[in-house]
Copies of this chain bind each other. A is one copy, B any other.
Amino acid sequence: MGKVDFSPIADTTRRAEIVALLRRAILTGQLEPGQKLNELRISEQMRVSRAPLREAMRELVQEGILTSIPYAGTFVIEVTAKDIDDAYSFNKVMDELAIERAWPLRDQRFYDELDRRHEAVKLATRELDTTRQIETALQLHGLIYEWADNSVLLETWQRLTSRLQMYFALHQHARNEPVPAEDVHETYVRLLKGKDMRAAQRHAREHIDLDFEELLSYARGLEQRPSRGA
């Protein structure tokens, strides 16, 4: 028999597709923080009944990017400076852990995948596709979590990723200028291939801090302004 390993076939429920659509809309900033999601309107736009839409919304509420108030509505989460601070502060510690766990498990497949994802970021950067750039950068970053061989750690990272992506998208959207062309991940990738684990951890921490300061100042600005309604 052939040694083909088939990937699982796609979810064929409307619910799953709705989740993907909504998540994308939120993470790319098409749906703004605080905005209310009108069930009837969205279900009509998607040509879907409210049942699967509502189920999809429940999932995203649990995922942490929507929030629901009974009989009032479901809203995109607000973003405060403290939320961003909390997420990044937490992320830094998780990163150290992930690097520590993944470190002894690095192999050729790891290095190959590292390069592959690095290339994906560079491609998105060249094409000036900011959304894709954020997405690929997070995927590059997530490799250490996938390699750390801890399901809970990985799951926690994936949850956090949603919000990080949203924060970055907001940021990009706000400053609205072309993305830095230079390759900021060069050092990160090189250190992950090297022999000094502490150095890799240190860089991950400092590298994150870099973008972080910019994001924070943006978020602080946000808090002055009133939130947008429906």
Contacts and interface: CB of A to CB of B under 8 A. Distances in A.
Interface of A (DSSP majority class):
helix
A16 interface: yes
Contact of A55 (B16, B58, B82, B87): B58
Interface residues of A, number: 31
Q: Please tell me how many copies of the chain the complex holds.
A: 2
A128 interface: no
A141 B204 CA distance: 30
Interface in A156-214: 156, 159-160
A13 B90 contact: no
Contacts of A59: 58-59, 61-62
Contact of A150 (B89, B151, B152): B89
A156 B90 CA distance: 10
Interface of A: 11-13, 16, 51, 54-55, 58-59, 61-64, 70-71, 82-83, 86-87, 89-90, 93, 97, 150-153, 155-156, 159-160
